[in-house]
Amino acid sequence: MVTALSTLAMLFGMLAIHPFVTYPLSLLAFARRAPATRDLGGGPPSVAICVSAYNEEAVILDKVNSLIAMAAHYGNATIHIYVDGASDRTVEILKPFQDRIDLVVGTERLGKTAGMNLLVQRSESQFLVFTDANVVTPIDSISKLVNEFKDQAVGAVSARLRYVNAEESITSNSGAGYWKMQEAVKKIEARTIGVIGVDGAMFMIERSLYRPAPAHLIDDLFISLQLMMQRRVVVSANDLWVEERSATALGDEMRRKSRIACQAINVHRAIWPELKRAPIGPLYGYLSHRLLKWLLPYSLAIAALLALVALTLTFGQIVPVLAIAGVCLSALAALLGFKPARFIWISAGLLYAVAIGVAQGFLSRMTYTTWSPAGSIRASASTGPAETGSGR
C-alpha cells in the first residue's frame, strides 16, 4: 500500500515539474529545425499593426505615438486600433490621430478577439502584427519580425517579453521569475519543434494563414494552435525584446491567472478534436508545455496528499501534526513579513487561481470574453508597490 502510494506521489510530482524540467530536457532529443529559406520579394512586405483596447487612457497615448514611429521606420505599414466600448478617455485621446490610424470605436463591449477579427477584415496587408496597448515595443520591431519569415516553415513570430518591475512587490517578482523560465523553454522549442503558442504582447502572422477565432476564445492561443494543424511553426525573434509591467497586487494577478487558465481550457475544448491529429512533435509540446502546465495545481496537490498519506502510514500520526504545524508557522512568518514565507504563500495563491480557472473552463460556461485591465499593471512605476506589506 505504502509503495503504491509513494509511486503515485512520485508520478504526479513528475507530472507537475515536467513542463519546466523534463520537457525542455526531452526536446534535446529532437533534431534541430533546419530553416528552409524563401524570398519575400523586392521591397518590404505590407504589414497591418492591430491593437484592441479597452479603458487604456493611462497608456494609449504613448502606445499610439510608438506605433506611428514604428510604422514610419518600417515604411510599408498601416495602424488599426479598435476601442471596445471604453468608458474612459481612450477614444478622446486617439481621435487627434485619425489621419494616421484606422480608428474603430465600438459602442458596446464585444471583447478583444472580436475586435482583432474586425481589424483584420479592414486590412489587406501580407502580414499582421498584434500587440497589446500596455506593451512597450522598439522602433525596429516590424523589421525584426518580418525577417523571421524568410524561413518558409514559419507561420508566426513572437517577440520575447521582459517584465520591467520585478522588484516592486513579491507578486511581480514571482510573475517575472516564472516568465523567465517560460522564455528559456520557448528558446529551446524554437530550435526544435517550434514555440507552443505566441506571446500576445506582440506577434506577427502571415495573413494567408490567419484563421479568425470565435469571439469567446482567446485569440493568440487559438491562432497558434491553428498553425500547428497547418504544419507551420511558431518561432521567437531572439533579437526583439518588448517590455511590460507585471501585476504588483496579488488580487490582480490571481484574477489574471484564473482568466488565462479558463480561456486556455476553452480553446482546448474547442479544438482538441482537430488538435489531436497534429504532428507528433508539436502535439507532444502542447500536451507538455500547455495542458500539463495548466493542470499543475492539481498534480501538485494530488502528489502532496498521496505523499502525506504514505508518510502517515509509515511513521504514524506525528506526520500530519508536523505538516499542520509547518503550514501554521509558515503562515505566521508570512504575516510577519518574512520574504521567503510570503513568496511561498503568494505562489500558492497563484496556483489556486490557476486551479479555479481550469475548473471554470471544464465545468462551467465561463469564457472571459471581456475583462478589465488590471490597475496595478497599468499603474505608473513611480506610484510604487501596490501590494500591501510586500516586505520590500
- Going from N- to C-terminal start, the domains of the chain cover 1-392
Give pTM, 2 decimals: 0.91
Residue given cell 484563421 in the structure block: 211
The whole-number pLDDT of residue 201 equals 96
Q: Which CATH architecture has domain 1-392?
A: Alpha-Beta Complex (3.90)
| Helix (H/G/I), strand (E/B), else coil: 381 | helix
Q: For residue 211, how many other CB atoms are within 10 A of its CB?
A: 12
Within a 10 A sphere around the Cβ of 145, how many other Cβ atoms? 23
> What pLDDT shows up at residue 379?
58
Residue with cell 516590424: 142
Contacts of 176 (CB under 8 A, 6+ apart): 163, 165, 166, 246
pLDDT at 373: 84
pLDDT on residue 390: 30
CA dihedral 12, 18, 19, 21 (to 10 degrees): 140
CA distance 130 to 45: 16
Order of all β-strands in the sheet with 102-106: 102-106, 77-84, 47-53, 127-131, 202-206, 154-163, 233-244
Pairing mode, if any, of strands 154-163 and 127-131?
A: unpaired
DSSP state, residue 102: E
Q: What is the pLDDT of residue 148?
A: 95
Rounded to whole angstroms, how far apart are CA atoms 118 and 97? 20
* pLDDT on residue 36: 78
Instruction: Name 66's bridge partners.
Output: none
Alpha carbon separation from 297 to 164, 267, 346, 348, 355 (Å, rounded) = 27, 19, 14, 9, 6
Smallest CA-to-CA distance from 319 within 301, 304, 332 is with: 304
Q: DSSP characters for 296-324?
A: HHHHHHHHHHHHHHHHHHHH-THHHHHHH
Instruction: Per-residue pLDDT tens, the chain, 392 aa: give them.
Output: 899 999 999 999 999 999 999 999 999 888 887 777 888 877 899 999 999 999 999 999 999 999 999 999 999 999 999 999 999 999 999 999 999 999 999 999 999 999 999 999 999 999 999 999 999 999 999 999 999 999 999 999 999 999 999 889 999 999 999 999 999 999 999 999 999 999 999 999 999 999 999 999 999 999 999 999 999 999 999 999 999 999 999 999 999 999 999 999 999 999 999 998 899 999 999 999 999 999 999 999 999 999 999 999 999 999 999 999 999 999 999 999 999 999 999 999 999 999 999 999 999 989 999 988 888 887 543 333 333 333 32
C-beta separation of 248 from 385 below 8 A = yes
Which residue type, as a one-letter code, is found at position 268?
Answer: H
**Tally of CB atoms within 10 A around 356:** 18
